[in-house]
Amino acid sequence: MTSISKELREELSRHFVIQPITLEEHQKSNDGTIKNAVKLFDGNVVESVLIPTDSRTTACVSSQVGCSLDCKFCATSRLKRMRNLTAAEIVDQVSLIDQQSKRDFNHPLSNIVYMGMGEPLLNFNNVVDSVKKITTPHPNGLGMSPRRITVSTSGIPKMIEKLADENLRVGLALSLHSAIEEKRNKIMPFSEKFPLEDILDSLRYWYDKTGSRITIEYIIWKDINDTKEDMNALVRFCQRVPVKVNLIEYNSIGDPEFQQAPPEITDAYIAALERHNIIVNVRRSRGKDIDAACGQLANKNKLTVN
């Protein structure tokens, strides 16, 4: 900045640093989904995704480099957690995708989901700060409505309650995948520390505090959670707290243990939930051909770039 004095420039250099993200690479899927490899100031790389539909564009942003958890079906969980992202790095991902949305789809970003790499509630302060920055009106923030933001968690009860206390007015999604304790612990081993009863208590606390219905994210796998017992367990879980259910198409990460259940099993789940007046939707995955779909973000061949 040559418009300010040399002394002031030197003072700024001593006390401040700018560490922007850079778009290292991006891929575009046949369905229009864009996956970004975002390089951070320290050489680490995270991925974020722009998901377009006819009526909106959604940003799926990362909150950690790697992941702290060990969900067996998720490619990101196989990466070592290197560090948490700062609030600025999260906001920068959103700003980047907003620019892509305007350029490629002729309208600004409409929705944000914290469903990329990492467990958002294990980077609590930075995630909360990023939401506040994103929802602060222009020119100091991005001016987005909190109602268009969803924070997804694998289920950490104390942090769900803490998020409710923040009164951010965002949505909450829980990755459940089984309402049978023993089965969920096999799919998501970390969950042994967080029993389903504790999670239910935290979801009720969330609803009482915010009045916002929770979204249950649920993948159905062949020979893992495809029985009537599994369906009935999910129904019982959903009857205990106001929720809606998203049945998510599985995206292979090359592990033969996890295979997509056939369509008739999904239909049976839908019928079981609807019989009990539980809202259910089927979410078709986007960006599978470029490994940009749910559970596929793994920075293939480039966890760090020097």
Residues with catalytic annotation? Answer: 47, 294
Helices 228-238 & 263-275 angle (0-180, nearest 10): 40
CB atoms within 10 A of CB 266: 17
Which residue shows structure tokens 């504790």?
198
List CB contacts of 9: < 8 A, sequence separation 6 or more. 1
Interatomic CA distance for residues 8 and 13, integer angstroms:
9
What sign for the dihedral angle of Cα 255, 260, 261, 266?
Answer: positive
Beta bridge partners of 38: 23, 46
Asked if 273 and 280 touch (Cβ cutoff 8 Å), the reply is: yes
CA Rg value for the chain: 20
DSSP conformational letter for 260: B
| Secondary structure (3-state) at 42 | coil
First vs last C-alpha separation in the chain = 28
In single-letter form, the type of residue at position 269 comes to Y
Q: What are φ and ψ of residue 240, in 5° steps?
A: -100, -5
